[in-house]
Amino acid sequence: MCNFISVTALIGILLSPPVQAAGLPSSYIEWEKPCPAVQHCWEFRANVWHVEGESEALNRGHAFHFEKGETNRLELTLRPGEEAAELVVELFDPRYQLVDRLLIRSRTPLRRSVDWSAVETGRYHVFVYFRRGGVHAQVSGRLYHG
């Protein structure tokens, strides 16, 4: 059984697209960091190279603190590239119960703001990932929380 898993994993690696050799990004979240000179703000940029269950949580999976009634929002700029893109935005509580989910579809660049000011005070995990898109699809944004 152990040899079967190893062979299966090796086949998967060999069949994976050589993104680094093609000059394409190899990680999903290209960069993320606190916003300069703005408190309670987190900015990021991500690409289409999403692997289900990996790398789509902002802040490396650490929760963000939200205050009810405060300006909790996610501002996104979607650049789909040559093909139509589908971007998923999800908000989960600390027990990973889904609080909000949004699907954004676009063939052209667009800006979108997601308002979470009505969510209860607490800590939340934010997930942003592409469900579909061309090799050059990209999203950047800022999360305002707290």
Which pLDDT tens digit goes with each residue over 105-125?
Answer: 999 999 999 999 999 999 999
Banded pLDDT at 22 (limits 50, 70, 90): very low
> Which tops the pLDDT comparison, 143 or 7?
143
* pLDDT tens per residue, range 24-51: 444 577 889 999 988 999 999 988 775 5
Euclidean distance between CA atoms 27 and 99, whole angstroms = 27
| Domains identified in the chain and CATH numbers | 26-144 (2.60.290)
pLDDT at 75 over 80: yes
Per the CB < 8 A criterion, the answer to whether 127 and 28 are in contact is no
The pLDDT assigned to 130 comes to: 86
What letter does residue 9 receive in the DSSP assignment? H
Q: DSSP labels for 77-111?
A: EEE-TTS-EEEEEEEE-TT--EEEEEEEEESS-EE
Could you give the percent of the chain with pLDDT greater than 90? 54
Among 26-30, 69-73, 97-101, 123-127, name the one with the lowest average pLDDT. 26-30
Mean pLDDT of 1-29: 44
The pLDDT assigned to 5 comes to: 45
